[in-house]
């Protein structure tokens, strides 16, 4: 009986904490989420706290707060140019899961895999949000402050906000964002310093591949929505980081 209560404790805390935060967000004058988005974020928060505790929760909270703030940079200018996020940056359910589905899968898998595999899932979890924050920072800063933007597939100059466009300012902002959230994860003990390096590399690769997808596929197919591309983006980031860790461990075993 006592073991059952102890097992339920993280989930009870998760429900209570996320309900309080949802009520605060609901009554806040500045809406970062739509009502439907708030409900889905509540469910996501319960999953993350219940599986990874406060450390994993802090990572996704950092992503959400920084990502929301970055999205609002130069909002009026971006709205005037027609390149701003819809609803003035307020996240709906599609945004929540487009950004966090990969991370949620990694978190839930922690419940069923053997302990030997858990470091890989934790790295994948952090890398997915590191990748998404990199993408958000690169896109939003590039649209607001990019002095020259180029199509990633041809390097031809294009207008800000073009699918697949990249800029120096946006690229640097993306690198800073990915490293910042990885350091948060390191600071609370989710990953080690080598994991920070892997997350930064994976985020850079995945963010640029996301731009390639945007320039080649997203402009051709209506079903290739921003949210679906975001999922592929975070999935690539998580997989690349895990492959880097596997390769590193393989090199160390070979050297030994």
DSSP state letter for 89: G
**Element (DSSP H or E) covering residue 18:** helix 2-27
pLDDT of residue 78: 67
**What is the Cα 250 distance to its own chain's centre?**
28
CB 60 within 8 A of CB 103: yes
Closest listed residue to residue 242, CA positions, set 173, 178, 195? 195
| pLDDT tier at 5, thresholds 50, 70, 90 | very low
Average of pLDDT values for 127-141? 96
Mean pLDDT of the chain: 90
Tell me how far apart the terminal alpha carbons of the chain are, to the nearest angstrom. Answer: 47
**Element (DSSP H or E) covering residue 224:** none
Q: Which residues of 94-113 are buried (b: 16+ CB within 10 A; e: fewer)?
A: bbbbbbbbbbbbbbebbeee
Closest listed residue to residue 38, CA positions, set 47, 20, 56, 26? 26
Average of pLDDT values for 151-174? 90
How many C-beta atoms lie closer than 10 Å to residue 54's C-beta? 14
**Has residue 180 got a pLDDT over 70?**
yes
Q: For residue 131, give its domain range.
A: 2-255
**Element (DSSP H or E) covering residue 149:** strand 149-151
Question: Measured between alpha carbons, how far is 15 from 9 in angstroms, rounded to an integer?
Answer: 10
CB 181 within 8 A of CB 63: yes
Question: Measured between alpha carbons, how far is 236 from 233 in angstroms, rounded to an integer?
Answer: 5
- In three-state secondary structure terms, 60 is helix
Structure tokens at 158: 């294009």
Number of domains the chain contains: 1
Average of pLDDT values for 191-207? 97
pLDDT of residue 160: 84
CB 33 within 8 A of CB 90: yes
Which position has the token pair 């209506």?
222
Average of pLDDT values for 173-183? 97
Question: Measured between alpha carbons, how far is 43 from 46 in angstroms, rounded to an integer?
Answer: 5
- Give 29-66 pLDDT, tens digit per residue: 777 889 999 999 999 999 999 999 999 999 999 999 99
Q: Where would I find the beta strands (DSSP E) of 10-109? A: none
């Amino acid at each position: 009986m006592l073991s059952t209560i102890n097992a339920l404790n993280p989930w009870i805390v998760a429900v209570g904490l996320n309900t309080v935060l949802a009520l605060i967000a609901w009554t806040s004058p500045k809406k970062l989420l739509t009502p439907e988005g708030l409900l889905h974020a509540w469910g996501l928060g319960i999953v993350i706290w219940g599986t990874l505790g406060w450390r994993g929760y802090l990572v996704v909270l950092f992503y959400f707060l920084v990502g929301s703030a970055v999205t609002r940079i130069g909002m009026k200018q971006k709205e005037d140019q027609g390149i701003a996020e819809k609803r003035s940056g307020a996240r709906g359910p599609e945004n929540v899961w487009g950004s966090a589905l990969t991370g949620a899968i990694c978190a839930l898998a922690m419940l069923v895999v053997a302990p030997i595999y858990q470091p890989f899932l934790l790295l994948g979890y952090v890398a997915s949000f590191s990748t998404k924050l990199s993408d958000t920072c690169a896109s939003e800063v590039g649209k607001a402050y990019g002095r020259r933007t180029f199509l990633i597939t041809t390097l031809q100059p294009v207008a800000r906000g073009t699918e697949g466009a990249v800029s120096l300012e946006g690229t640097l902002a993306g690198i800073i964002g990915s490293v910042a959230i990885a350091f948060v994860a390191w600071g609370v003990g989710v990953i080690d310093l080598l994991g920070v390096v892997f997350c930064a590399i994976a985020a850079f690769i995945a963010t640029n591949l996301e731009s390639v997808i945007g320039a080649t596929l997203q402009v051709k197919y209506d079903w290739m929505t921003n949210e679906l591309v975001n999922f592929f983006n975070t999935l690539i980031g998580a997989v690349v980081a895990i492959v880097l860790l596997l390769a590193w461990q393989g090199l160390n075993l070979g050297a030994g």
